[in-house]
Chain A
Amino acid sequence: MSVTASLPPEQLQKAVTRSRTVSATRWRILVRTPGRVISLVIVTGFVLMAITGPYLYPKNLPINANDIYAPPSWAHPLGTDFEGTDVLALIVTGARYVLLAAFIAAIVTLVIGTAAGLIAGYYPRSTGRPIMRVTDFILAIPGLPLLMVLATIWSFGSPQQMGLVLGITGWGGIARAVRAQTLSLRERGFVEAARGLGLPGRRIIGTEILPNVAPYVSMNLIMQVTGFIYIEVGLFFLGVVKYSSSNWGVMLNNAVFQADALTNTRALSYLLSPLICILLLTIALVTLANVGDEIFNPRLRKI
Chain B
Amino acid sequence: MEEPRLKLTRWIAVKIVTGLIMIWVVASAMFFLLRDLPGNPAEARYAQLIMHGATPQQAQLETAAMFGFVPKQPLIQQYGHYMWQLLHLNLGQSIAETGVPVSHIVFSAFPWTVILCLSGVLASFLIGVVLGVAAALRRMTKAGDGITWFGALINGIPTYIIAILLFYVFTTEWAIFPQGGTVSIEYTPGWNAGYIGSLITHAILPVTAYTLSAVGAWVLTTKSSVISVLGDDFILASELRGIRPLIVARYILRNAMLPLFTILAIALGLMFSGSVFIEDVFNYPGLGQQMLTSLTTDDYPVLSGAFIIIIVAVIAANFLADLAYPLIDPRVRRS
Residues of A within 8 A of B (CB): 133, 137, 139-146, 148-149, 151-153, 226, 230, 233-234, 237-240, 252, 256, 261-265, 271, 275, 278-279, 282-283, 285-286, 290
Contact = CB atoms under 8 A, between A and B. Distances in A.
A262 B172 contact: yes
Contacts of B315: 140
Contacts of A278: 158, 161
Nearest to B168: A262
Given A142-B314, A148-B291, A152-B37, A238 B280 contact: yes
Contacts of B159: 234
A151 to B, nearest CB: 7
B295 A271 contact: no
B310 interface: yes
Interface in B278-328: 280-281, 288, 291-292, 295-296, 298, 300, 303-304, 306-307, 310-311, 314-315, 318
A80 B266 CA distance: 42
Interface of B: 18, 22, 25-26, 30, 33, 37-38, 152-153, 155-161, 164-165, 167-168, 171-172, 179, 269-273, 276-277, 280-281, 288, 291-292, 295-296, 298, 300, 303-304, 306-307, 310-311, 314-315, 318
Contacts of B291: 145, 148
Nearest to B292: A238
**Binding site of A, secondary structure by majority: helix, strand, loop or mixed?**
helix
A200 B314 CA distance: 41
A237 B272 CA distance: 17
A133 B276 CA distance: 27
Contacts of B298: 152
Contacts of A146: 307
6 contacts: A137-B22, A262-B164, A262-B167, A262-B171, A282-B158, A285-B156
B157 A279 contact: yes
A140 B164 CA distance: 28
- Shortest 6 CB-CB distances between A and B: which pairs? A286-B156, A144-B273, A142-B272, A230-B158, A142-B273, A282-B156
Contacts of A234: 158-160, 277
Given A256-B281, A286-B152, A145 B304 contact: no
B318 A145 contact: no
Contact of B153 (A151, A237, A265, A283): A283
Nearest to B167: A262
Contacts of B276: 144-145, 148, 238
Given A234-B277, A279-B157, A148 B303 contact: yes
